[in-house]
Structure 1
Amino acid sequence: MKHVQRAGLASVLALVVSAGMAAGQWSDDPAANLALADGSGAQVQAKIASTADGGFYVSWYDDGTGGFDVTLQRLDASGVEQWAHGGVLVKDRGFSSTQDYGLGIDTAGNALLAFRDDSGANVEITAAKVDPTGSLVWGAAGIQVSASSGAFVAAPKVVGTTDGNLVVAWTQDADLKLQKLDPSGSPLWGSGVTVSPSAGSFSVSDLRASDGGTVIVSFTHLTGSFPSPIHLKAQKLASADGALLWGASHVAVYDVMGGSLQIGNFPTFESDGAGGAVFAWYTSSPSLQCRVQRILANGAEAFSHQGVELSTNGTRLRVSPDAAWNAATEEIYAFWTETNGNQSLFGLYGQKVDSTGARQWTDDGKELVALGSEQITNVRTVLLDSEPVVAWARSVAFDNQPIAASRLDGAGDFVWTPAVTDLATSATGTSRLAAAVSTAGFAAYAWQDGDSGTADILAQNLKPDGTLGAVGLFSDGFESGDTSAWSATMP
């Protein structure tokens, strides 16, 4: 009798899974990824953030009716869209081009967005909150955080803080601006915090929540008039009033005399989970070189000033690093695009840096893809089961950039057989790859697919064993002993 019941349940499960597949969920076919936005016009600049239930928020700009409107979708852990296909319209805008924007999550599980808003007399920075049902908590207008009076405002970032509030950071003319809002949208830092350079200009680079309601912000410093060198700085702001905890001069992550970051490059960073931050960036002068640094909670550098070079091979150049931080071991895993001296050949390399700043995968780094004619772009690094998984795109031909991924162990050896898993194989252009890790233990990616005038937003999951598709089931089709996880991962 028990055997009969088991067979019957298996049939029911098969029907449920089939229904879920019909509704759209994670694909197991890299040639048929999950389409989140595939309407008329272009959908561009995807971002993805993981939710506590194992799912994700995915945001993008939708130009289907013009204006590059701010749009959001929520996925459950199975990749099933929780709102109508095409997402929720967060802000109807009238722009003809785009800049960066921010996506975050607060402690209550609401999505947070910050973006340029042209609905008023001047272009301003607006914050929006969207709850898990898709409702706009602050209404269609959102909360305007800037008061530009016609000043240039750009590239906002937003994070939910550990005390249940949120912080928005943006560039305003030559200054860095920040404001903290409570859950109702009321400002907590008066008229906001302004961080001004003594010379040149600041531009926001990235923003992360830190301990006790504080935030850490990174920003580039154009040290004089263009084309002066560009340096990388960071600051930590107090929860209560936005006071500068790392001093009025800020922390210089990179300020080599005569050295510079690439123009238009705004490196991201990670919180180290202990009140500090981990940075990865590349320089354009004195040479194209990748570096990492950890800044401790008190603003002190964990490694030597200017950071640790990820490779000392002087015959090669390297750009566009992306790093993941293992807080348990205090190790940094970073991967980047490696090139020959005249940048005609391209490869993919990685490095592990230990807690003392010592390179662990030889001074040259680990070769994942040997130098060849196919360009390597969109390098993204996450940790699964404390081991690094790196994804990247390669240019087979114009408008043909498949996406692949590989997992390494702590020694730098490949974990999967074969070593590389295909994430996307359609002969289309791919760009702006974004990555996040589900609380259910797998990675998910979202990207812009197709040419800029008709691009779609696609997504794909990647499980720790290197396979794609359905999550939450054992190989025999039955759930794990964790019934709460089973509920969270089924449509």
Structure 2
Amino acid sequence: MKSLILFLGVIFIITFPLFADWSDDPAVNNAVCTLAGEQAITKVGTGPTGDTYFGYFSNESGNYNVRLQRFDQAGNPLWVNGGILVSDNTQMTWLTDWDMTVDLDNNAVLTFQDIRDGNNNVYAYKISPDGTFLWGADGLQLSNTSAFDAAPKVTVTTNNNVVIAWGSEDVSRLQKISPEGVLLWDSTGIEISGANSYTWPQPIGVESDHVIVKYYEDSGPVWAPTRHIYAQKFDANGNTVWDSPAAISTAGGITAWTQDLPIVKDNDNGFFIGWYDDRDNNMNADVYVQHVDADGNCLWTANGVIASTDMNREHYYVYIAYQPDEDILYAYWNEMDYDQNDRGIYGQKFDMTGTRKWEDTGRVIIEISPVDVYPYGIGNVSGKVVVFYQEGLNENYLKAMALDSTGDFVWPGGMITMCSVAATKLHAMVGSLNSNFWIASWADDRNGNADIFAQNINTDGTLGYSPQAHDPEMNDDQYQVYAQPNPFRNSTSIRFYTTGHSDITEISIYNVKGQLVRNLTVAFSPLHIVEATWDGKDTAGQNVKPGIYLYKITVDKKEIIQKIVKI
């Protein structure tokens, strides 16, 4: 690694990847963990430098241990085979969900429950890129009660604090943790409670170190509750911000096994949310979406906008994506016949008034048929939304398809196979956009016991790692430029790849009015990668407001312009 020149507080570094290791063959995926026992419930988190963490449970000597592996951007594992052992404390004989993310300093943050002290309590660990346990070898204990504390979820705030939320029988609890590992909201955290049960919280980091938490209010029997969806915003000190919680849906009809919901942030510290319910008790589930602003107002139809008005079909398992360039929300879901024998994938497009822009019954993406298809994730990049799905029931395959603003296929051939190995796949998930590709991870039994595998797919629909692989829409066959993360909060890396000898003379940041925000001048840079980190400040050193900006790179007397969003 060779340092170049420091200009205006921005460090430019050239890296020379030794080899690319993401598989370009869907029959040969990258092995994350192939230890002797069963592995399960993988999580994926990509950091600000482009490397990716994989967390998972590993059955060793009769206990499900927690392990962590780290890959570089090219797909090479950076730690020993099987990853590092995070925790071998006693787990229950059956597993519940857990969570992982990556903070702004590229550390992995993991949270899960175990029974190390006899009770089912929640713990949190922070692991650095070199494998150091930053919050101690035993992590931080977040709960210490006889209650059944389960399914923690984690988010990182704008100040790089961590907020973890979990269910504790009839209440939801929240705890905030400083980067140094100090519990900031008392020793027991904050409680969301009341006359009913408050379950399945999901935190979302927003502006000013605040966090929004979605949760359910349940009444009635546990196995068949009347379930309503609410959200509340908490400030940096844990105080509620909104006078009353946002009532996202009080229509009922949400099943007891509906737990986490798809949530994506908008461009103004609010969020979109999707779900399905049978509010009219006609044994047909329908998909709904809602937009909640930063002040806790539900902007669309009360109790949500229905995505499809076809009352003769079932609609389940919705995934949503917000396109800031278009100011459009997309929703894709599992479409089924009334008997749930045939399955397909449909979609809907919503403008910012909540109006359906495609057919009222949804856009057909994959028509229902006896072939089982199940969406498991969604990704978006300018100009397209990518839907990730499984095909088949027992021995199934993993595929992806990119869709444009009309719902038409973008990639040649339509659907791209990411895993063609005939094996039972469990807990498939997809991470956020990593430079110019996504990473899916899952457990499958191709080797007998379930192992963890991963596969990348580029924004042009190809598999395998290539710094030069890019969309046909990008600026020039010789160049690739992108910013990651995008949208960003505190900082973003602007990266430039070239297939030849290029002379970068200037990088400039502009607002949407065309006014110069900041000039970054660089010296000559040789082949491979040049990376610049913009800290979101102007030439006066002041933080710029959230919004859309443009970055322009002048190279070989050509101008390359891309859009970037600060949130």
TM-score (normalizing by structure 1): 0.89
Change in Cα spacing, 1:197 to 1:263, as seen in structure 2 (3 Å) is farther
Aligned twin of 2:36: 40
- Given the alignment of the two structures, is residue 454 of structure 1 paired with residue 453 of structure 2, yes or no? no
Residue 438 of structure 1, CA deviation: 3.3
- Given the alignment of the two structures, is residue 132 of structure 1 paired with residue 129 of structure 2, yes or no? yes
For structure 1, list consecutive stretches of 5 or more residues without a partner in the other structure. Answer: 1-15
What letter matches 1:409 in structure 2?
D
1:368 pairs with one of 365, 370, 377: 365
Stretch deviating more after TM superposition (372-381 or 97-106): 372-381
SS at match of 2:60: coil
1:169 pairs with one of 151, 154, 165: 165
Change in Cα spacing, 1:263 to 1:478, as seen in structure 2 (3 Å) is closer
1:292 pairs with one of 269, 289, 294: 289
Map 1:229-248 onto structure 2 (within 5 A): 229-239=226-236, 241-248=237-244
What letter matches 2:83 in structure 1?
G
Map 1:190-201 onto structure 2 (within 5 A): 190-191=186-187, 192-199=189-196, 201=197
Change in Cα spacing, 1:359 to 1:264, as seen in structure 2 (3 Å) is closer
Percentage of matched positions with identical amino acids: 30
Residues 419-469 of structure 1: CA distance to partner in whole angstroms, max 9, x if unpaired? 110011110011222112334121111112128982111111111111100
Q: Distance in 2 between matches of 1:238 and 1:179?
A: 12
Q: Distance in 2 between matches of 1:197 and 1:378?
A: 35
What letter matches 2:422 in structure 1?
A
Aligned twin of 2:87: 91
Residue 313 of structure 1, CA deviation: 1.4
SS at match of 2:347: strand
Change in Cα spacing, 1:85 to 1:356, as seen in structure 2 (3 Å) is same
- Given the alignment of the two structures, is residue 330 of structure 1 paired with residue 324 of structure 2, yes or no? no
Aligned twin of 2:19: 20
Residue 318 of structure 1, CA deviation: 0.7
Aligned partners of 2:167 and 2:201 also within 8 Å: no
Change in Cα spacing, 1:487 to 1:81, as seen in structure 2 (3 Å) is farther
Aligned partners of 1:110 and 1:129 also within 8 Å: yes
Q: Distance in 2 between matches of 1:431 and 1:80?
A: 23
2:60 pairs with one of 47, 58, 64: 64
Residues 95-122 of structure 1: CA distance to partner in whole angstroms, max 9, x if unpaired? 2111111111222111111110322242
What letter matches 2:304 in structure 1?
G
Residue 328 of structure 1, CA deviation: 3.5
Stretch deviating more after TM superposition (287-296 or 437-446): 437-446
SS at match of 2:42: strand
Aligned twin of 2:343: 346
Q: Distance in 2 between matches of 1:130 and 1:33?
A: 26
1:142 pairs with one of 134, 139, 142: 139
Aligned partners of 2:344 and 2:373 also within 8 Å: yes
1:252 pairs with one of 223, 244, 247: 247
What letter matches 2:190 in structure 1?
V
Residue 271 of structure 1, CA deviation: 2.2
Aligned partners of 1:77 and 1:488 also within 8 Å: no
Residue 264 of structure 1, CA deviation: 4.1
Aligned partners of 1:42 and 1:452 also within 8 Å: no
What letter matches 1:339 in structure 2?
M
Q: Distance in 2 between matches of 1:213 and 1:263?
A: 32
Q: Distance in 1 between matches of 2:526 and 2:117?
A: 46
What letter matches 1:117 in structure 2?
D
Q: Give the alignment's Cα RMSD to 1 decimal.
A: 2.3
- Given the alignment of the two structures, is residue 211 of structure 1 paired with residue 207 of structure 2, yes or no? yes
Aligned twin of 1:274: 268
Aligned partners of 1:393 and 1:403 also within 8 Å: yes
Which one scores higher on RCO, CA 8 angstroms, separation ≥ 6? 1
- Given the alignment of the two structures, is residue 303 of structure 1 paired with residue 297 of structure 2, yes or no? no
Q: Distance in 1 between matches of 2:156 and 2:234?
A: 14
Aligned partners of 1:46 and 1:59 also within 8 Å: yes
Map 1:297-446 onto structure 2 (within 5 A): 297-395=294-392, 399-446=394-441
1:158 pairs with one of 154, 157, 172: 154
Residue 384 of structure 1, CA deviation: 2.3
Q: Distance in 2 between matches of 1:235 and 1:451?
A: 44
Aligned partners of 1:378 and 1:433 also within 8 Å: no
Residues 329-378 of structure 1: CA distance to partner in whole angstroms, max 9, x if unpaired? 33111111100111111101111111111112211222121111122224
What letter matches 1:297 in structure 2?
A
Aligned partners of 2:422 and 2:446 also within 8 Å: no
Aligned twin of 2:511: none
Change in Cα spacing, 1:176 to 1:75, as seen in structure 2 (3 Å) is same
Aligned twin of 1:263: 257
Stretch deviating more after TM superposition (291-300 or 383-392): 383-392
1:184 pairs with one of 180, 183, 202: 180
1:118 pairs with one of 115, 119, 136: 115
More strand by share: 2
Residue 197 of structure 1, CA deviation: 2.8
Q: Distance in 1 between matches of 2:82 and 2:124?
A: 21
SS at match of 1:212: helix
Residue 31 of structure 1, CA deviation: 0.9
Q: Distance in 2 between matches of 1:364 and 1:463?
A: 31
Residues 6-26 of structure 1: CA distance to partner in whole angstroms, max 9, x if unpaired? xxxxxxxxxx98x735xxx21
Q: Distance in 2 between matches of 1:231 and 1:88?
A: 40
SS at match of 2:422: coil
Change in Cα spacing, 1:488 to 1:420, as seen in structure 2 (3 Å) is farther
Residues 135-177 of structure 1: CA distance to partner in whole angstroms, max 9, x if unpaired? 11112210111122x1110001111111121111111121010
SS at match of 1:109: coil
Residue 487 of structure 1, CA deviation: 4.7
Stretch deviating more after TM superposition (377-386 or 401-410): 377-386
Aligned partners of 2:200 and 2:259 also within 8 Å: no
SS at match of 2:19: helix
Aligned partners of 2:498 and 2:529 also within 8 Å: no
Aligned twin of 1:5: none
TM-score (normalizing by structure 2): 0.77
For structure 2, list consecutive stretches of 5 or more residues without a partner in the other structure. Answer: 1-15, 470-476, 479-496, 505-524, 532-567
Aligned partners of 2:329 and 2:349 also within 8 Å: yes
More helix by share: 1
Residue 77 of structure 1, CA deviation: 1.3
Q: Distance in 2 between matches of 1:324 and 1:440?
A: 18
Stretch deviating more after TM superposition (371-380 or 474-483): 474-483
SS at match of 1:459: strand
- Given the alignment of the two structures, is residue 49 of structure 1 paired with residue 45 of structure 2, yes or no? yes
Aligned partners of 1:336 and 1:379 also within 8 Å: no
Q: Distance in 1 between matches of 2:530 and 2:401?
A: 27
Aligned partners of 2:346 and 2:362 also within 8 Å: yes
Q: Distance in 1 between matches of 2:24 and 2:263?
A: 31
